[in-house]
Amino acid sequence: MKILLVEDNELTRYVMKALLTKLGHEIVGEAENGEKAVQFFTRLKPDVVFLDLILPGKSGIEVLEDLRSVDPKTRVVIITAVDQAEIDRRLSGKSVHAILRKPFSYGDFKTLMISLS
């Protein structure tokens, strides 16, 4: 699968890229903020977007809405360390495919990517 990583923390992006590459997926782009995320998404047309909720500039929720306006069927995986109840409330009705909680493991990615196949 072609994947766009949207995460402001460089180390987290590096770890995610390594895990996803090990699982045989192609990272087509990496964005550290919401503006770049929407630009890359429109240009690169990834199969899946891994989207952090807390980003500089636009929030992950705002980026999710922008992505949905470009392609409502896009598979989006939310990356977060935010409290479970809070995140469930904020994402209610937003049609995300999965939520990946920080800290995560290789096993978390493997299970998640199988479910997205």
Secondary structure (DSSP) of 67-98: HHHH-TT-EEEEEE-S-HHHHHHHHTTS--SE
Number of domains forming the structure of the chain: 1
Residues in contact with 10: Cβ distance below 8 Å, sequence separation at least 6, in sequence order: 32
| 24 within a domain of the structure (yes/no) | yes
The answer to whether position 114 is within a domain reads no
Q: Residue 11 domain-assigned? A: yes
In a domain, 98, yes or no: yes
Range of the domain at 82: 2-105
Residue 115 lies inside a defined structural domain of this protein? no
Domain of 39, CATH number, reads 3.40.50.2300
Supply the pLDDT for residue 104. 87
Show the tokens assigned to 116: 């997205």
Whether 113 maps to a domain, the answer reads no
pLDDT tens figures, 17-75: 999 999 999 999 999 999 999 999 999 999 999 999 889 989 898 999 999 999 999 89
CB 92 within 8 A of CB 104: no
With beta carbons less than 8 A apart as the criterion, state whether 7 and 13 touch: yes
What's residue 80's pLDDT?
85
